[in-house]
Amino acid sequence: MPVDDLSKIVSLCKRRGFIFQSSEVYGGLNSCWDYGPLGAELKRNVKDLWWSEMTRRGNIVGLDASILMHPKVWEASGHVENFTDPLVDCKKCKQRFREDKVEVKGKCPACGGELTEARSFNLMFKTFMGPIEDSASVVYLRPETAQGIYVNFLNVQGSMRQKLPFGIAQIGKAFRNEITPGNFIFRTREFEQMEMQFFVKPGEDEKWMEYWKEQRMAYYVGLGIDANKLRFHQHVKGELAHYAKDAYDIEYEFPIGWQEMEGIHNRTDFDLKRHMHTSGKNLMYNDEVTNEKYIPYIIETSAGCDRSLLAVLCDAYREDPANERTVLSFSYKLAPIKLAILPLMKKEPLEGYAREIYDTLFKSTKYNMQYDVTGSIGKRYRRQDEIGTPLCVTVDFDSLEDKAVTVRERDSMAQERISVENLPSYINQKLGI
């Protein structure tokens, strides 16, 4: 049974150490979340897989730009002027909403009261750099990581001797003062993006847009996400961001409905042209093959790390009432813990032998493992199922005699007897990663 209700994911995440509310002891901070030990591992896997998918192609290199940038960046990019949502207030209950998300126009979704006229609300967080808090020291927390790539375009291209087409990939925090954050980690004010900007010759942009759409969809399917829960949504006029000529979202069917997980945008030469104009610096690409100088077009793939992680969690969640268990059926490469070593009982010499097996595997494999001896074996299996551990290794009294253990697979619950000697290679082969 797949998940029908986001609150089930929220409570599992808290119970099992994936995600906690930020500053919980102070009552929490609205829409801010902390990744616990297993969430941090899962997030690392989401990021690592994206990073190698992008940077192991030969024509995409990485970057890690600073969050704070020169304020002119955001004037040039159009964010100071255009990165706004229409804000309305309820005259009765004083709650605030995004006008474009209000179903019955003019009526408060909470109390039915009358709404004010919409006004533009800029989503960028402002802060001050240095000790003086005046307009000259205003800086913004970046609302997208992309601009750090654009202003470094020639630094990267020149230092890495890249020729078009080539890409720059980056993972990092972004901040948006969303009017209505919510739905757990789906829409937050602080989040992480995994963005890749692909620089192409003008005129070749539409071809590359198609290429990246196909690549990105295939990527999610390769992560083990159910293809029936993925689709494209093309932006129509009015939906397009101020920088985009064409845009597609990759949507996932979350328990809250079909929602954007990643945006693929044809940003044309909009950003580089604007930075060239505002900075007065020449950001043209010098094509040594054709001897032409031009501003490249950019195809952007912009994935939310937290949203991808939420999709991965929702997709993996299964209730299995026949076996009285809840399972996170992650693909093995995403699972935060790959292996659990479970001595049948807390008793010597069984425990000592199980520890020995744990230590050997710890040295001979590179996987995250847990050692668990508390509670009945059934309870321990269920605990591992609920955090998505692919394999459990049970050490029983026969193991002391036959030097073999039982390996249980998470989804099928199938068990196999494997000799301790062959265990590292068996596990490597089973996990296949």
Q: Torsion angle, CA of 339/345/351/357, rounded to 10 degrees?
A: -30
What is the sign of the dihedral through the CA atoms of 135, 139, 140 and 146? positive
Rounded CA gap, 412 and 277, in Å? 60
Stretch in the footprint of ligand GAP (CB under 6 A) among 57-65, 184-192, 269-277, 368-376? 184-192
Residue 311 near residue 334 (C-beta atoms within 8 A): no
For position 302 contacting ligand GAP by CB under 6 A, the verdict is yes
The least distance separating ligand GAP from the CB of residue 269, rounded to whole angstroms, comes to 16
Is residue 287 close enough to count as binding ligand GAP by CB under 6 A?
A: no
Residues within window 95-154 making contact with ligand GAP, judged by CB under 6 A: 144, 146
For ligand GAP, which is the closer residue by CB, 19 or 337? Answer: 19
Counting DSSP H helices and E strands in the chain, the numbers are 13, 23
The verdict on 172 binding ligand GAP (CB under 6 A) reads no
Residue (263 or 336) nearer to ligand GAP, CB: 263
261 binds ligand GAP (CB under 6 A): yes
Q: Are strands 297-304 and 317-320 parallel, antiparallel or unpaired?
A: unpaired
* CB nearer ligand GAP, residue 147 or residue 157: 147
Q: Residue 193, interface with ligand GAP (CB under 6 A)? A: yes
Closest CA to 357 of 376, 347, 342, 336: 342
If you write DSSP's letter for every residue of 233-249 in order, what string do you get?
EEPPTTTS-TT-SEEEE
Q: According to the binding rule CB under 6 A, does residue 260 interact with ligand GAP?
A: yes
Options 83, 153, 191, 426; binder of ligand GAP; rule CB under 6 A: 191
Token pair, residue 270, equals: 């909009």
Residue 79 binds ligand GAP (CB under 6 A) = no
**Applying CB under 6 A, does 307 fall inside the site for ligand GAP?**
yes
| Intra-chain end-to-end CA distance of the chain, in Å | 28
Report the residue from 89, 195, 315, 396 that binds ligand GAP according to the rule CB under 6 A: 195
For 21, what's the count of Cα atoms within 13 Å in the CB-facing half-sphere? 14
Residues binding ligand GAP (CB under 6 A):
144, 146, 176, 178, 187-188, 191, 193, 195, 260-263, 300, 302-304, 306-307
